[in-house]
């Protein structure tokens, strides 16, 4: 209906890239249909919900890093102008997306605000083409960690632990897990991992997280970060904000399995 060409990347990843190509009118039409569809989904999810305030529609655009300067403008002037004239919230990530030269631009608001915002972003991108070669962001397939707790195998999906179907390699892991008691029910204390005990060496891993995303990892009064600590069994320290820096240092300490689970849960936020 929009007349745009739309390509969606393959689906075994937690994120998929939707590429919309065509004349600007077709792109705006496609974006308006996507934004309205998202709003429809929000409305549907609110029908039986106790939530009273309606969350905004949110899209994450993938933009070559070489064009982000023009989008932000001198001293943030362009992005401020886009926010004020469209009513949409616009955030440009400080870091490039993994293994790419692209950055995430998050836009949120009403469908109308988002369409107006996309129009202005397209104008900037047409006026300031990317410089040099662009390495596109390609999401990696997620290998969800398997947790053993209370004699049952679970995989993490979003915020929930889902019982894992019992397939033959898993049965072997399950038996291995049972040889390393005690395992406590999920949600009480640290879940057990197959073949790991107190002698497993601990190590540390550091990652940087943009300031504008740190809030959703910490959660209200630290609820989310405590949940991640409890589920992963890793120690997680978030450094204080340093003046002039757009990101915060996060240090994860624990066994390799604890660290990888903590990283997975942080990325899932």
Domain annotation covers residue 194: no
Residue where one domain finishes, among candidates 127, 146, 165: 127
Domain annotation covers residue 71: yes
Q: For position 215, what pLDDT does the model report?
A: 85
**What pTM was estimated for this model as a whole?**
0.54
Are residues 123 and 9 both part of a single domain?
A: yes
Determine phi and psi for 137, rounding to 5 degrees: -75, 130
Domain annotation covers residue 93: yes
- For residue 29, the domain's CATH number is 3.30.1370.10
DSSP state of 258: H
Q: Is 178 helix (H, G, I), strand (E, B) or coil?
A: helix
Structural domains of the chain, count: 2
- Burial of 42 from C-beta contacts in 10 A (0-12 / 13-18 / 19+): middle
For the segment 21-54, what is each residue's pLDDT rounded down to a tens digit? 998 889 989 999 999 999 998 888 888 777 777 8
Domain coverage including residue 108: 5-45+54-127
Domain annotation covers residue 190: no
For the segment 89-142, what is each residue's pLDDT rounded down to a tens digit? 999 988 898 889 999 999 999 999 999 999 999 999 999 999 988 889 888 776
Residue positions counted in the chain: 269
Query: What angle separates helix 111-127 from helix 77-86, to the nearest 10 degrees?
Result: 150
Of all residues in the chain, the percent with pLDDT exceeding 70 is 77
Are residues 39 and 122 both part of a single domain?
A: yes
């Amino acid at each position: 209906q929009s007349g745009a060409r739309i390509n969606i990347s393959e689906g075994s990843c937690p994120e998929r890239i939707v590429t919309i190509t065509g004349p600007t009118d077709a792109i705006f039409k496609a974006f308006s249909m996507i934004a309205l569809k998202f709003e429809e989904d929000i409305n549907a999810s609110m029908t039986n919900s106790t939530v009273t305030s309606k969350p905004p529609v949110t899209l994450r655009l993938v933009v070559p890093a070489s064009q982000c300067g023009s989008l932000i403008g001198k001293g943030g002037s362009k992005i401020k102008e886009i926010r004020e004239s469209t009513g949409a919230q616009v955030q440009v990530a400080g870091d490039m997306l993994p293994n790419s030269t692209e950055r995430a631009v998050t836009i949120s608001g009403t469908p109308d605000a988002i369409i107006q915002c996309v129009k202005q972003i397209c104008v900037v991108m047409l006026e300031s083409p990317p410089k040099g070669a662009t390495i596109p962001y390609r999401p990696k397939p997620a290998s969800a960690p398997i947790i053993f707790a209370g004699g049952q195998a679970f995989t993490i999906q979003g915020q929930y632990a889902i019982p894992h179907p019992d397939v033959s390699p898993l049965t072997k892991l399950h038996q291995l897990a049972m040889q390393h008691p005690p395992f406590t029910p999920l949600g009480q204390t640290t879940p057990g991992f197959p073949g790991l005990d107190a002698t497993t060496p601990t190590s540390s891993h550091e990652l940087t997280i943009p300031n504008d995303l740190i809030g959703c990892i910490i959660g209200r009064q630290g609820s989310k970060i405590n949940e991640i600590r409890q589920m992963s069994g890793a120690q997680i320290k978030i450094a204080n904000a340093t003046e002039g820096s757009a990101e915060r240092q996060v240090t994860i300490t624990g066994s390799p399995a604890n660290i990888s689970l903590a990283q997975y849960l942080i990325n899932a936020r």
